[in-house]
Chains A and B, each alone.
Chain A
């Protein structure tokens, strides 16, 4: 009797139970085992977060649920029990092209994706796509579907829903696109929503609003949610349960509080340790898991994590595949450290390895020592003309950067922070003359040589500029030529900008590879063979090739996994210290900037709104925008209630149509009449520069960590 009751209970509480799922891609090169006997389950009305680095099979596992794995991928084994409105069914038994699975897709289980720009059709309006989703599963007329689409957009807090139905994806901002995607997924009131990295491509502020929205919708609709992410901050904020995936297997799972408070698996512990923390004092060392996720084509004997695990037990971890052990209430871990008689206690384990032995000991440049200015920017504007009309005459101006003054001192790392559209990248590009500034003076000071006028530099001088100021780009895939071997990629600036022989150049490339922690042997290989983190190291080596004074890093880690981010940040920090480099670090993520930069400059709508030393900026922000940016950073601790500030809505104003007063006024909680009418000047407030009328009166909330 008791057994029956328990079964009935679990049936109704668990909406989806995935057991021993195996999904394999049979490619010409061999079998790619993306999912290797993964098991997890989702409780009704709860959120399961699946977390892990890229290449761990999270997305493939999620797509397997709806049988969306395309040829040559096949579900080779396991079961997916879905307890839907039409009774329980094992989804793996359904024909992937059949009517039964189609009745589940978009109806009982809906899915949203990472890049709403490419996941929505570029040639159909938002309305066409949402209405189609409704009519696929509901027998309603077009006008009824239209009315429902308006309701849906309204429910995802899309401003002006009727107008947006007629919009195309490219007319919307990233956040609005993701809202449209969510509205489409909600079209038929699904019982389970699968969200595959829904905020990875978004700004921190937009991420906060989207996560907020998902949480609310879930509560309103009593919907279950599978959220795939590599960001443990997001997990801490969203999850009821967590499943940590590594190379196609779930290595640890359990309730979020339990997993964060009492992590067992060395991989879970490594991921937790490598989360970027808001840490302007640099009290903590930045941890990183050494090595990379092995290719999904490797046949693994024993535990997949053994080669990155410092605790691997020879003769055991490389022989037997660890089984999942119950170590607490619904808390399971698949690791040999905890089975058998000699089971280890997680408290006794040290946290997973530091990347190298460099510890950031100095906190930037001493206040006392007035170091010499290397790059001096005075009142720079960057404007782009807007053309239109019959004769394509100039009809407007995009003011990407307005009146920015900033000086970078020798050996200093300065963070440049703002949302997309704030003018960060335009400004960074101007410093290396990728765009000429419309107005202003930029001077590069060099040891024992004439200062260089960056704005008017020509030919020879420009060569000197390119040699002295180098960039590291955001996308390590797009910024390295796939047709060149690594040696040529790194050697190109040496050939172009210096006069050394080929032999010397190749020696230098070898040294550079060594400096960035890669083997000099890889010089003859092509970049496609490397992971994102390795590519970014190659990008850094290329930036260092001409022995520059200034490094401009444009979001160098935002495309990387958390565990790899720490490796690259450690490397940059070490290089800056060892080589006496000056670095401008551009990012939208304040937590990344905090532990690296001496000073932070916050940019909004092309203007500096706050500039302060990191330590004071994070503790006592003086501009409401800085406060909002800090509040948007997810706190990687499920026990800490997030900052009570409502997430920042809307976006940066159109730079072609800037409001008259303070550019931030429309989104500011504290804005007054004066803010809307009068443009605040950047002025000294305490030890910071702030552009806010109310900087003195406001008591703003700093970072909670």
Chain B
């Protein structure tokens, strides 16, 4: 097991190097750079930018160097100083920009994920154990509707409803008066009052999908002979199902946890834009549009790292849960 863990950690190194290389290459691939974007924006607002000034910007941000050199500067400062570079667009170090955003994204995603699990797993189990019952049919209908409605549309509808009927200020995670206020109980209450909307919006599709997954997995397991054995021992139906088929039916669910890690930090971009949430999605979108290369690159690196770590964690979790994997 220790061997396995060490080997997996070793494999992570070349993976991350390759990812960072590709990510950086892709970001620098489109024609033009931040200097072009800046000049264009400046000219549109009526300022005059001379070619010398443009060249100065380029030199200041070291955009005139070959990209391999830029790549080397960027990655080496990440490794040595934990410095992810500088955001041209925001005129701030990337570190100052992304950590608050990541924290906020994590809170939103984590709470919606918990909502999904708490709702979907019991409903999925019920649907499987009482297959084709009225309850199962209702769960199925709800599930397919949930899957079919686009999230952003659902977000718009909910925003309209909460504005029209509850008079709540919509959008964002804080009411305007709290945005720049320091943390207090009042701010926390305001935050929690705002949180339910993205939670519900982001959770619906996930809940619908997970119900189907849990139901299908459990239905497969319920037919296995070891369930009959458990009943033949004299176990209560409920205990027998929880201890044997449900335990095994959750294995594929655990093995897909690596996706969850990515979701936790990537934040659903379109919904976040619609709800104007202070999460990572919209920031990454803007950074890519403005060719704010260090910011965009850092986000992509962060997502890749979490994918790799998430895969490792879910594999380890699976090995812990399922001895058939552990012993191989």
Residues of A whose CB lies within 8 Å of any CB of B are: 63, 66, 68, 70, 97, 102-107, 110-111, 113, 115, 118-125, 132-133, 136-137, 168, 170-171, 181, 184, 187, 389-392
Contacts and interface: CB of A to CB of B under 8 A. Distances in A.
25 contacts: A68-B232, A97-B237, A102-B234, A102-B236, A107-B234, A111-B229, A113-B228, A118-B224, A121-B229, A121-B230, A121-B248, A122-B248, A122-B324, A123-B247, A123-B248, A123-B322, A123-B323, A132-B233, A136-B233, A137-B234, A168-B324, A184-B233, A187-B233, A389-B3, A390-B6
Nearest to A122: B324
Given A120-B226, A123-B321, A136-B233, 12 more contacts: A63-B228, A66-B232, A68-B231, A102-B234, A102-B235, A102-B236, A104-B234, A106-B233, A118-B224, A120-B229, A121-B226, A122-B226
B34 interface: no
Contacts of B7: 390-392
B234 A118 contact: no
Interface in B228-271: 228-237, 244, 247-248
A171 B326 CA distance: 12
Interface string B210-228: 0000000000000011101
Interface residues of B, number: 24
Nearest to A97: B237
B247 to A, nearest CB: 6
A276 to B, nearest CB: 28
A557 B20 CA distance: 58
B234 A390 contact: no
Contact of B225 (A105, A119, A187): A119
Contacts of B3: 389-390
Contact of A111 (B224, B232, B235, B247): B232
Most buried by B among A113, A121, A170, A187: A121
A133 B324 CA distance: 22
B185 interface: no
A110 B6 CA distance: 46
B232 A110 contact: yes
A122 B327 CA distance: 12
Contacts of B229: 111, 113, 119-121, 181, 184
Contacts of A389: 3
Contacts of A104: 234
Nearest to B224: A118
B226 A118 contact: yes
A107 B7 CA distance: 48
Contacts of A133: 233
Nearest to B3: A390
B-side interface mostly: helix
Nearest to B245: A121
Given A123-B321, A133-B233, A171 B327 contact: yes
A168 B327 CA distance: 10
Contacts of B234: 102-107, 136-137
B317 to A, nearest CB: 13
A75 B101 CA distance: 62
A393 to B, nearest CB: 11
Nearest to B235: A136
Nearest to B328: A170
Contacts of A68: 228, 231-232
B266 to A, nearest CB: 32
Nearest to A388: B3
Nearest to B233: A106
Nearest to A99: B236
Contacts of B244: 121, 124
A29 B2 CA distance: 53
3 closest residue pairs by CB, A with B? A105-B234, A106-B233, A106-B234
A123 B247 CA distance: 9
Nearest to A101: B234
Nearest to B226: A121
A644 to B, nearest CB: 35
Interface string B153-191: 000000000000000000000000000000000000000
Contacts of B327: 168, 170-171
Nearest to A130: B233
A390 B226 CA distance: 35
B233 A113 contact: no
A132 B6 CA distance: 36
Contacts of A97: 237
A106 B232 contact: yes
Interface string B1-27: 001001100000000000000000000
B148 to A, nearest CB: 27
A123 B324 contact: yes
A58 to B, nearest CB: 15
Contacts of B6: 390
A119 B228 contact: yes
Contacts of B231: 66, 68, 105
B217 to A, nearest CB: 14
A166 to B, nearest CB: 10
A113 B7 CA distance: 41
Nearest to A69: B228
A137 to B, nearest CB: 6
Contacts of B247: 123
B232 A105 contact: yes
Given A103-B234, A106-B233, A133-B233, A119 B323 contact: no
Contacts of A125: 323
Nearest to A71: B131
Interface in B70-107: none
A38 to B, nearest CB: 20
Contacts of A184: 229, 233
A137 B235 CA distance: 9
Contacts of B324: 122-123, 168, 170
A315 to B, nearest CB: 44
Nearest to B232: A111
A392 to B, nearest CB: 8
Contacts of B235: 102, 132, 136
A115 B232 contact: no
Contacts of A187: 233
B232 A118 contact: no
